[in-house]
Structure 1
């Protein structure tokens, strides 16, 4: 993993590909995991899009995202069936050819016998020209990285393996730090003073997250910043505000 110089923010987007996600037949289990892992290493996930298995829509979304963010992660659409068109769409977006890659074919043969490597399964070895392969320790069919685009499977277990393989190769920025304060109040009751604190700390993100506890409505206040000193100051003001609103013992 390469630590970025200075305070440069490293950004990312996720492009989820598949009719089954849009129809509700398959529930996405990848975006949250990707977001969590990127946050841990200092990469800001800024956008998530979901597109159908339609080449022109994949190409348009990919070209829009890859020119805007440091990295784009795609999930889904690199399997053996006719509607797995992600690899072809990525090749079209980059204007390169695509064919069976001998490296990818060799990886498949670690999992599939030569006699069973039919035309459909061989589709999983079709890689855009110039791409680097991403190892898949689960089923061997690789993902790939071309430019700033990282193409991964949609099956969560396989996607997780591919993500872990690629994370050490990424540039990273300063890690986002956070502190959580229990408000012991309804969100609407503290919105005003919380807004005043947020205005005094423009470099800090302050969010309120209501939930229902056993004793009734409550709110978690989450303070985030890459600057530990600024985080501490803002969190202290939030904590003091919360303490001042508590009834006397």
Structure 2
């Protein structure tokens, strides 16, 4: 029997995201990586720079998913409290990690001040995540990966994270484009397809509404068995065609 694919959640941390000052792109980057590794991303939460909220969210997510990825709040300023919150969530101390101290000391030299030393704090038992952009490391503790919020840095950190993850069966996806028809007009056909093949996911995504030009619906068929996905797409396309709906693969 094939083992189930690993599951994951993302915890985005930062008042700047909730205020709208910063647009998060890290979720998309993480989601694409996990999809390529066959890991199911099932949940995402966004919280501000509030320790209790971070602790509660982290404990809930790490108890229900194989992996949790956090972004944000590991810089040198007073509101960078992610390391403190993670240590509290795991019930461990938050000492300076000697390797992190050495990395940062080389990076900053005489400018390695008290604020920058905050970035060397790692919950007891944690291991470092390399940061080839600015050197200041992230860290892993248990099934939690703590990374920077700056997208360029977070993306670079993922290169060190990816080899640590257990992979699963990759999800295959096919798309059909239905032109000139809204999703409400084909909902019954899509529902019947989903009932006929319960191991396959069928998604409906309308386009062109409220704008000049072509309108229609993109139908995305997803599953881990490529042959079953292909068969489901062929069956769906045939049902749409029989109903007089113009359909084309993408």
Q: Place the TM-score, normalised by the shorter chain, in its bin.
A: over 0.9
CA distance in 2, matches of 1:132, 1:188: 51
CA distance in 1, matches of 2:241, 2:59: 49
Counterpart of 1:202 in structure 2 is 198
Asked if residue 28 in structure 1 is aligned to residue 27 in structure 2, the reply is: no
Higher relative contact order (CA 8 A, sep 6+): 1
CA contact (8 A) 1:96 1:128 kept: yes
Count the aligned residue pairs.
242
CA RMSD, aligned part only? 1.4
Asked if residue 182 in structure 1 is aligned to residue 177 in structure 2, the reply is: yes
Q: Which of 213, 217, 238 is the aligned partner of 1:240?
A: 238
Counterpart of 2:165 in structure 1 is 170
How far off is 1:217 after superposition?
1.1
How far off is 1:190 after superposition?
0.9
CA distance in 2, matches of 1:238, 1:118: 63
Larger strand fraction of residues: 1
How far off is 1:214 after superposition?
6.6
Q: Deviations over 1:157-187 (max 9, x none)?
A: 0000011211111001111111111112221
Asked if residue 13 in structure 1 is aligned to residue 9 in structure 2, the reply is: yes
CA distance in 1, matches of 2:228, 2:135: 46
**TM-score, scaled relative to structure 2:** 0.93
Counterpart of 2:219 in structure 1 is 221
**TM-score, scaled relative to structure 1:** 0.94
CA contact (8 A) 1:7 1:174 kept: no
Q: Deviations over 1:103-152 (max 9, x none)?
A: 00111133211x10000011011111110100000000000000000000
5 Å matches for 1:119-198? Answer: 119-184=114-179, 185-198=181-194
3-state SS of the aligned residue for 1:84? coil
3-state SS of the aligned residue for 1:195? helix
CA distance in 1, matches of 2:163, 2:51: 30
Structure 2, unmatched stretches of 5+, are none
Structure 1 runs (4+) greater than 6 angstroms displaced: none
